[in-house]
Chains A and B, each alone.
Chain A
Amino acid sequence: MSTSKSTFRLSFMLLLVLLTSILAACGSDSATTAPSGSTTTSNEPRTIKLWHYEGANSAMGIAWAESIKQFQAAHPGVTIQFEEKGFEQIRQTAGMVLNSNETPDILEYNKGNATAGLLSTQGLLTDLSAVATQRGWDTLLSSSLQTTARYDDKGVMGSGKWFGVPNYAEYVMVYYNKDMFAKANLQVPTTFAEFEAVMDAFVQQGITPLSVGGAEYPAQQIFYELVLSKANREFVNAFQLYQGDVDFRGPEFTYGAEKMAEWVSKGYISKDATGIKAEDMGVAFTNGTFPIMISGSWWYGRFSDEIKGFEWGTFLFPGNKLHPGSSGNIWAVPTNAQNKELVYDFIDITMSQDIQTLLGNSGGVPVNADVSKITNEKNKELIQNFDAISKADGLAFYPDWPAPGYYDVLVANVQELIDGTKTPSEMLDAIAIPYQEHRATLGK
Chain B
Amino acid sequence: MTSLPLKSSYKKPHKAGIGRFFVLAALLIVLLVVLLPFAIVIINAFKTPEDYATYGPLSWPTEWSIAGIVEFWQRVDYSQKLLNSLLISASVAVIGVLLSLLNAFALGIGRIKGRIWLLILFMVANTLPQESLVYPLYYLSKEFDLYNTRFVVILIFSVIQSAFGTYLLSSVFSTFPKEMLEAAMLDGCNKLQLLFKIIVPVSRPTLAVLFTFFFIWTWNEFFLPLILLISNDRQTVPIAVGVLQGQRNMEATLSSASALLGILPCFIFFLIFQRTLTKGIAAGSVK
Chain A residues in the interface with B (C-beta under 8 A): 4-5, 8, 11, 15-16, 18-19, 22-23, 25-26, 53-56, 83-89, 92-93, 96-97, 100, 102, 110, 217, 278-279, 283, 286-287, 296, 298-299, 302, 305-309, 329
Complex contacts, A97 vs chain B, CB 8 Å: 230
Task: Please count how many residues in chain B sit with their CB below 8 Å of the partner chain's CB atoms.
Answer: 45
User: Can you list 26 A-B pairs with a CB-CB distance of less than 8 A?
Assistant: A4-B275, A8-B276, A11-B273, A15-B94, A16-B94, A19-B87, A22-B83, A22-B86, A22-B87, A26-B87, A53-B247, A83-B231, A84-B232, A85-B243, A86-B242, A86-B245, A93-B226, A96-B138, A110-B247, A217-B248, A278-B248, A279-B249, A287-B55, A298-B249, A306-B54, A308-B50
Give B203 Cβ to nearest chain A Cβ, in Å: 13
By the criterion CB–CB under 8 Å, are B53 and A287 in contact? yes
Residue B194 lies at the interface, judged by CB distance under 8 Å to chain A: no
By the criterion CB–CB under 8 Å, are B250 and A26 in contact? no
Per the bound structure, the CA–CA distance linking A90 and B272 in Å amounts to 36
Give B131 Cβ to nearest chain A Cβ, in Å: 11
Minimal Cβ-Cβ distance residue in B for A279? B250
Write the B46-81 contact mask toward A (1 if CB under 8 angstroms, else 0): 000110111111000000000000000001100000
Complex contacts, B275 vs chain A, CB 8 Å: 4
Per the bound structure, the CA–CA distance linking A287 and B276 in Å amounts to 49
Complex contacts, A299 vs chain B, CB 8 Å: 249
Chain B residues in the interface with A (C-beta under 8 A): 49-50, 52-57, 75-76, 83, 86-87, 90-91, 94, 138, 142, 147-148, 150, 204, 208, 226-227, 230-232, 239, 242-252, 272-273, 275-276, 279
Minimal Cβ-Cβ distance residue in A for B243? A86
Give B233 Cβ to nearest chain A Cβ, in Å: 8
Contact of A279 among B75, B226, B252 (CB under 8 A): B252
Complex contacts, B242 vs chain A, CB 8 Å: 86, 88-89
Complex contacts, B91 vs chain A, CB 8 Å: 19
Minimal Cβ-Cβ distance residue in B for A217? B248
Per the bound structure, the CA–CA distance linking A97 and B231 in Å amounts to 10
By the criterion CB–CB under 8 Å, are B239 and A89 in contact? yes
By the criterion CB–CB under 8 Å, are B90 and A11 in contact? no
A-B contact count (CB 8 A): 106
Per the bound structure, the CA–CA distance linking A398 and B273 in Å amounts to 52
**Chain A CB within 10 Å, residue with most, of B55, B94, B148, B247:** B247
Give A305 Cβ to nearest chain B Cβ, in Å: 7
Per the bound structure, the CA–CA distance linking A129 and B189 in Å amounts to 75
By the criterion CB–CB under 8 Å, are A287 and B56 in contact? yes
Contact of A84 among B57, B76, B231, B273 (CB under 8 A): B76
Minimal Cβ-Cβ distance residue in A for B50? A306
Minimal Cβ-Cβ distance residue in B for A29? B233
Minimal Cβ-Cβ distance residue in A for B138? A96
By the criterion CB–CB under 8 Å, are A56 and B75 in contact? yes
Per the bound structure, the CA–CA distance linking A187 and B45 in Å amounts to 39
Give B31 Cβ to nearest chain A Cβ, in Å: 27
Per the bound structure, the CA–CA distance linking A22 and B276 in Å amounts to 25
CB-CB nearest 4 A-B residue pairs:
A306-B53, A86-B243, A286-B53, A83-B232
By the criterion CB–CB under 8 Å, are A283 and B147 in contact? no
By the criterion CB–CB under 8 Å, are B243 and A102 in contact? no
By the criterion CB–CB under 8 Å, are B54 and A309 in contact? yes
Contact of A100 among B90, B147, B244, B276 (CB under 8 A): B147
Complex contacts, A18 vs chain B, CB 8 Å: 86, 90
By the criterion CB–CB under 8 Å, are A102 and B226 in contact? no
By the criterion CB–CB under 8 Å, are B230 and A93 in contact? yes
Per the bound structure, the CA–CA distance linking A97 and B235 in Å amounts to 14
Minimal Cβ-Cβ distance residue in B for A49? B231
Give B34 Cβ to nearest chain A Cβ, in Å: 23
Query: Given A18-B86, A96-B138, A298-B247, 9 other A-B contacts at CB below 8 A?
Result: A15-B94, A16-B94, A19-B87, A54-B246, A84-B75, A84-B243, A93-B226, A286-B53, A308-B50
Minimal Cβ-Cβ distance residue in A for B151? A26
By the criterion CB–CB under 8 Å, are B245 and A8 in contact? no
Minimal Cβ-Cβ distance residue in A for B57? A283
Per the bound structure, the CA–CA distance linking A88 and B245 in Å amounts to 7
Give A97 Cβ to nearest chain B Cβ, in Å: 6
Give A409 Cβ to nearest chain B Cβ, in Å: 19
By the criterion CB–CB under 8 Å, are A92 and B227 in contact? yes
Complex contacts, B50 vs chain A, CB 8 Å: 305-306, 308
Complex contacts, B76 vs chain A, CB 8 Å: 84
Minimal Cβ-Cβ distance residue in B for A329? B247
By the criterion CB–CB under 8 Å, are B90 and A19 in contact? yes
Give A93 Cβ to nearest chain B Cβ, in Å: 6
Complex contacts, A87 vs chain B, CB 8 Å: 245-247
Per the bound structure, the CA–CA distance linking A307 and B53 in Å amounts to 8
Per the bound structure, the CA–CA distance linking A16 and B272 in Å amounts to 16
Complex contacts, A55 vs chain B, CB 8 Å: 246, 249, 251
A102-B148, A279-B252 known; A8+B49 contact, CB < 8 A: no
Give B82 Cβ to nearest chain A Cβ, in Å: 10
By the criterion CB–CB under 8 Å, are B87 and A23 in contact? yes
Per the bound structure, the CA–CA distance linking A11 and B276 in Å amounts to 11
By the criterion CB–CB under 8 Å, are A283 and B90 in contact? no
Per the bound structure, the CA–CA distance linking A329 and B279 in Å amounts to 54
Give B65 Cβ to nearest chain A Cβ, in Å: 14
By the criterion CB–CB under 8 Å, are B226 and A89 in contact? yes
By the criterion CB–CB under 8 Å, are B279 and A92 in contact? no
